[in-house]
Amino acid sequence: MKIAILDDYQNVALELADWNSLPEECEVEVFTEHFTGSNVVKERLRDFEVIVAMRERTPFCRGILAGLPGLKLLITTGMRNASIDLAAANELGILVCGTGGRGFATAELAWGLILALTRHIPLEDSVTRRGQWQTTIGTELMNKTLGIVGLGNLGSRMAIIAISMITVLTSAVVTMFALVCFDMMPINAQTITRP
């Protein structure tokens, strides 16, 4: 059985799963370069029975699916993939499955973008590399309001990260307040006692 892993730009797919647990007759081939054009996709993948697609990087429309006569299983990373024609796959007898995930990667990237924008991180990185230092003043997030439109999968994860950040901050602030105001000395991370 021939298995294709597509669009693995970072060349990490073989490290992220136990591919050795597959039967011996399975041959896994990783493609790190993106295939451009439906004819190229059909030509390169014609002999594969299983294709693992990385998110929406390669579309699988009816024309491409019909041009892959040996395809039995199409797997996508994540549980949704708007670039797979599910109706066509079903009509052609191709099983489409998705993988689970931890679910916080996109929300964490969104937080990274928020911090990058408010603190001008890309610009400041660029000017520092050119020998300059602190050319802008970033916006502090303290006492700002976070607006989240919708609490679906992504919105709820954004809120969870925000709440966990507040919880950690509050815990640290309370600990420092106790140390300063009550002349307390920390013994370890769990215990704070009066000297």
pLDDT digits (tens, 9 = 90+) for 50-63: 999 987 889 999 99
Q: Per-residue pLDDT for 81 more than 90?
A: no
Q: What pLDDT does residue 181 have?
A: 56
64-84 CB burial, b ≥16 within 10 A, e <16: bbeebeebebbbbbbeebeeb
Long-range Cβ contacts of 66-73 (<8 Å, 24+ apart): 66/92, 67/38, 67/41, 67/42, 68/42, 70/46, 71/45, 73/49, 73/97
* Judgement on whether residues 131 and 86 belong to the same structural domain of the protein: no
Domain that holds residue 91: 2-98
Q: What pLDDT does residue 175 have?
A: 60
Q: What pLDDT does residue 149 have?
A: 84
Q: Is 63 exposed, middle or buried (0-12, 13-18, 19+ CB in 10 A)?
A: middle
Strands of 60-106 (E only): list them.
73-76, 95-98
Q: What pLDDT does residue 191 have?
A: 47
Instruction: Convert the pLDDT of each residue in 2-47 to its tens digit.
Output: 999 999 989 999 998 898 999 999 999 999 999 989 999 999 999 9
Distance, in Å, from the CA atom of 139 to the CA atom of 147, rounded to the nearest integer, reads 16
Distance, in Å, from the CA atom of 7 to the CA atom of 83, rounded to the nearest integer, reads 14
The DSSP letter of residue 29 is: E
Domain boundary among 64, 98, 132: 98
Beta strands across the sheet bearing 27-30: 27-30, 2-5, 50-53, 73-76, 95-98
* Judgement on whether residues 10 and 91 belong to the same structural domain of the protein: yes
Instruction: Convert the pLDDT of each residue in 145-166 to its tens digit.
Output: 888 888 888 888 888 888 776 6
Q: Which of 112, 104, 116 is nearest to 154 (CA)?
A: 104
The DSSP letter of residue 16 is: S
* Judgement on whether residues 77 and 139 belong to the same structural domain of the protein: no
Taking residues 131-155, what's their average pLDDT?
87
Residue 11, Cβ neighbours under 10 Å: how many?
10
* Judgement on whether residues 22 and 68 belong to the same structural domain of the protein: yes
* Judgement on whether residues 38 and 114 belong to the same structural domain of the protein: no
Q: Residue 91's domain is classified under what CATH number?
A: 3.40.50.720
Domain boundary among 77, 98, 119: 98
* Judgement on whether residues 11 and 90 belong to the same structural domain of the protein: yes
Strands 185-186 and 73-76: unpaired
Query: Distance between alpha carbon 41 and the CA centroid of its chain, in Å?
Result: 25
Q: What pLDDT does residue 174 have?
A: 57
* Judgement on whether residues 80 and 125 belong to the same structural domain of the protein: no
Instruction: Convert the pLDDT of each residue in 167-193 to its tens digit.
Output: 554 555 556 555 555 554 454 444 444
* Judgement on whether residues 120 and 189 belong to the same structural domain of the protein: yes
* Judgement on whether residues 123 and 181 belong to the same structural domain of the protein: yes
Long-range Cβ contacts of 90-94 (<8 Å, 24+ apart): 92/65, 92/66, 94/65
Q: What pLDDT does residue 156 have?
A: 87
* Judgement on whether residues 110 and 188 belong to the same structural domain of the protein: yes
* Judgement on whether residues 60 and 32 belong to the same structural domain of the protein: yes
Distance, in Å, from the CA atom of 51 to the CA atom of 32, rounded to the nearest integer, reads 14
Q: What pLDDT does residue 123 have?
A: 96
Identify the residue with better confidence: 81 or 42. 42
What is the count of structural domains for the chain?
2
